[in-house]
Chains A and B, each alone.
Chain A
């Protein structure tokens, strides 16, 4: 794209500038740091010039927005047509508490819902299980049965609002309950839109809310792919997530590489299950972290779109353009928030959110300033939502598409990100794909090593964090924190016991034995059986226990 002669001239003059002017200047004022690197510890040059971009082709490498390879964005209009969806992840206490928070957020201009379940739900236990003691409603909302889901979405029309649910091990069961609520509201499945995270591979790598071993988990996932393609066409079946891999301490390249490698594994599993790729791939979406290093993050999102488009077209021979498009949600990085001087977190979140927007995200969650201490208060979450609204309405960055496209720095970072991530993907392919790599502990080890390396850099003062190892202040800045009422556990346990007492016991039993039988029979899709069970108020714990019997359980290999 560039004139090669001119580029050669620039390279020569750059060398001259470095040797003369820069060298003189550096003698007078040496660099502040011995090494300048991103938060992932990738070295960054003093200056980026166009000469290394001799092979760069604006049309082939970037394309136009909405056109292959989508580096500049997946829609032709991007934010001029519609802003990104403002979707705050919310859930605490009882279904009533969280329903009230949902309604509050919608009243403040939020445009989609995102549900945080408490740990017992994430692990497939009912609130009255001994495993749930002390955890009910603590880190999310307690959902045991359809009864809780009815309360959670009471007064929220499921044909108008899309809901994202962070649920993985028991994704199929909770999704079945959601469909049963929609049915009760009179909304046909074809009109229901939303997302389940349903990304079990990254659970083994990072988030660790699993139930079953990898193979049976992949079977449930392909059941969901097939079921939604036929019955719930507006549903995003997997939100392939780098977020948690990054939170566990990976670098940006690892986040990108392992997430796309997970995506490859799901597409292959769908194809192997006999579903044509273009029937399910358009409903796969992605979820990335917005970490602290501004340009590295923007490059990551741009590289991700280009990589996925190429992989879907060239590797999987998808024909539908919608299969090539990487749509993604972004959440600012919880692990970057400090407990010290927590108000500073507002600024961190604003910068991170801005990188997500400049990177072309489809939806965004901004963390609240108090999340290094507790779940967010209403006041803190309002500031977080307003941060997005200020970026959207006041900053001007949503006026044009991919404003950093063509920057010498950003294009070279994007290329480097893609190259390094593809190296990882080739390595994982050689191991036999992501399921095999996970069984060998490969991505787990890579992430743990990176986390340890970063911690050492922070402890050595080589990475400076304001309020933590730089600019500390003696005085605390106390902010109000959300407390979960102790009564939530008692009330929730009582409600679930009552649900079991009041339902048609015979029907519930029949659903569970059908589920058991189905799980033992290959080629039976478990989704309709789970929807039947949800309708009869079979609890989440009961469904999961039944499948634990036939599918087995996964336990932590406990590597460190």
Chain B
């Protein structure tokens, strides 16, 4: 793992033009925000600019916040079982708004069987319970770059 990290640093020696901006979103009606808040805080501590939507957002609200804040990635936390509706719906709205290059990732209570289907539809990465925070921070640092 140390080498992988070293490589990624070596591959991007010059400083990014601006900080990466990530929208951490809680779509749907579930109130479990422990994970979302921990991720938001850890990303902020790692130097990422974080916008947290708060709870109970519709897909429309999330995409409109993403457009307004001009984010590079969206991380969704879903523990309600509605992931098979919410992820694809948000992807669809992003494409409609010509924001298909915004990286969509997420996590929560998501059965293994559903993950390949979500990835096939365009979700970049799905994290399952028990993922160390650093793994998610590393993922964001390595995968997501400022869009412009």
Chain A positions near chain B (C-beta within 8 angstroms): 119-120, 122-123, 125, 130-135, 138-139, 203, 206-209, 247-249, 335, 338-340, 372-375, 448, 451-452, 455-456, 458-459, 468-469, 476, 481, 484, 555-560
Residue from the set B24, B37, B133, B134 with the largest chain A CB neighbour count within 10 Å: B37
CA of A557 to CA of B42 in the docked complex: distance in angstroms?
19
Cβ distance A126 to chain B, nearest Cβ, rounded Å: 13
User: Contact at B53–A372, with CB atoms within 8 Å?
Assistant: no
Least CB distance from A443 to B in Å reads 14
Q: Do most interface residues of chain B lie in helix, strand or loop, or is the interface mixed?
A: loop
Which of these binds chain A: B9-17, B78-86, B97-105? B78-86
Chain B residues closer than 8 Å to A125, beta-carbon distance: 29
In the complex, what residues of A have CB within 8 A of residue B19's CB?
A: none
Residue from the list B29, B36, B42, B53 in contact with A119, Cβ < 8 A: B29
Nearest Cβ in chain B — how far from A504, in angstroms?
31
Q: Which of B44, B54, B58 is A555 in contact with, Cβ under 8 Å?
A: B54
Closest to B31 in A: A208
CB-based contact B30/A558 at 8 Å: no
User: Hey, which chain B residues are within 8 Å of A375, CB to CB?
Assistant: 81
* Given known A452-B41, A556-B55, contact A481–B133 (CB-CB < 8 A): no
How many angstroms from the CA of A480 to the CA of B85 in the assembled complex? 22
Contact of A135 among B31, B55, B81, B129 (CB under 8 A): B81
Q: List 5 A-B contacts (CB under 8 A).
A: A133-B82, A248-B33, A373-B109, A373-B111, A560-B36
B109 touches A372 (CB 8 A): yes
Q: Which of A131, A138, A452, A458 contacts B58 (CB 8 A)?
A: A131
CB within 8 A of A452: which of B33, B38, B82, B132? B38
Contact A139 B40 (CB under 8 A): no
Contact status A135-B37, CB under 8 Å: no
**Are A455 and B38 within 8 A (Cβ)?**
yes
Are A208 and B82 in touch, CB under 8 angstroms?
no
Query: Which residues of B6-60 have CB atoms within 8 Å of chain A's CB atoms?
Result: 24, 28-34, 36-38, 40-42, 44, 50, 52-56, 58
**Interface residue from B33, B42, B44, B130 paired with A208 (Cβ < 8 Å):** B33
Establish whether residues B29 and A131, one from each chain, have CB atoms under 8 Å apart when the complex forms: yes
Cα–Cα, bound, A120→B58 (Å)? 13
Q: Is the CB of B133 within 8 A of A123?
A: no
Q: Name the B residues within 8 Å of A206 (CB-CB).
A: 31
Partner among B54, B80, B132 whose Cβ is within 8 Å of the Cβ of A139: B80
- CA of A248 to CA of B54, assembled, Å: 15
Residues in B whose Cβ lies below 8 Å from that of A458 = 132
Is B128 positioned at the interface, with any CB of A under 8 Å from its CB?
A: yes
Please give, as numbers and ranges, the residues of chain A lying within 8 Å of B85 by CB-CB distance: 133-135
Q: Chain B residues with Cβ under 8 A from A135's Cβ?
A: 28-30, 80-82, 85
Contacts of A448 in B (CB 8 A): 37, 41
Q: Is the CB of A134 within 8 A of B33?
A: no
Q: Contact: B84 with A134, CB < 8 Å?
A: yes
Give the docked Cα–Cα distance between A476 and B130 (Å): 14
A372 near B129 with CB under 8 A, answer yes
Given contacts A459-B132, A556-B33, A558-B53, 19 further A-B contacts (CB under 8 A): A122-B29, A133-B85, A134-B82, A134-B85, A135-B30, A135-B85, A139-B80, A206-B31, A208-B56, A338-B130, A339-B129, A451-B38, A452-B41, A484-B81, A555-B54, A556-B54, A556-B55, A556-B56, A560-B40
- Please indicate the chain A residues that have their CB under 8 angstroms from the CB of B33 in the complex: 208, 248, 556
- Contact call B31/A455, Cβ cutoff below 8 A: no
Q: Which of B34, B54, B132 contacts A335 (CB 8 A)?
A: B34
Counted as pairs of residues, one from A and one from B, with CB atoms less than 8 Å apart, the total is 107
Q: Given the complex, which residues of B lie within 8 Å of A484, measured CB to CB?
A: 81
Question: In the complex, what residue of chain B is closest to A133 when comparing beta carbons?
Answer: B85
Interface hits, B113-148 → A, CB 8 Å:
128-130, 132-134
Q: Which residue of B lies closest to A123 (CB)?
A: B29
Q: How many angstroms from the CA of A335 to the CA of B136 in the assembled complex?
A: 19
The docked-state distance in angstroms from the alpha carbon of A451 to that of B133 is: 13
Question: Are A339 and B31 CB-contacts (below 8 A) given A130-B58, A134-B86, A558-B54?
Answer: no
Cβ contacts under 8 Å, B130 to chain A? 338-340, 468
Tell me which residues across on chain B come within 8 A of A372, comparing CB atoms. Answer: 109, 129
* Chain B min CB distance to A303 (Å): 25
Residue numbers in A under 8 Å from B133 (CB-CB)? 455-456, 459
CA distance A120 to B41 in the complex (A): 29
Please tell me if the beta carbons of A207 and B31 are within 8 angstroms of each other in the complex: yes
Q: Find chain A residues with CB under 8 A from B42 CB.
A: 452
- Give Cα distance in the complex from A139 to B53, angstroms: 22
Q: Are B28 and A119 in contact (CB under 8 A)?
A: yes
Could you say which residues of chain A place their CB within 8 Å of the CB of B128?
339
Q: Nearest Cβ in chain B — how far from A93, in angstroms?
A: 11
Distance to closest chain A CB from B77 (angstroms): 11
- Minimum CB–CB distance for B47 against chain A, Å: 16
* Nearest-CB residue, chain B, relative to A374: B111
- How near does chain A come to B25, taking the closest CB pair, in angstroms? 11
Instruction: Decide yes or no: A119 and B80 within 8 Å by CB, A207-B31, A248-B34 being known contacts.
Output: yes
B34 CB → nearest A CB, Å:
5
Q: Is the CB of A481 within 8 A of B111?
A: yes
**Interfacial chain A residues near B58, Cβ < 8 Å:** 130-131
Q: How far is the CB of A487 from chain B (nearest CB, A)?
A: 14
Verify B80–A123 contact, CB threshold 8 A.
no
Complexed CA–CA distance, A138 and B30 (Å): 11
> Which residues of chain A are near B32, meaning CB under 8 Å?
208
What residues on A are CB-neighbors of B132 within 8 Å? 458-459, 469
Instruction: Kindly provide the distance from the CB of A424 to the nearest chain B CB, expressed in whole angstroms.
Output: 20
User: In whole angstroms, what is the CA distance A135 to B30 when docked?
Assistant: 9
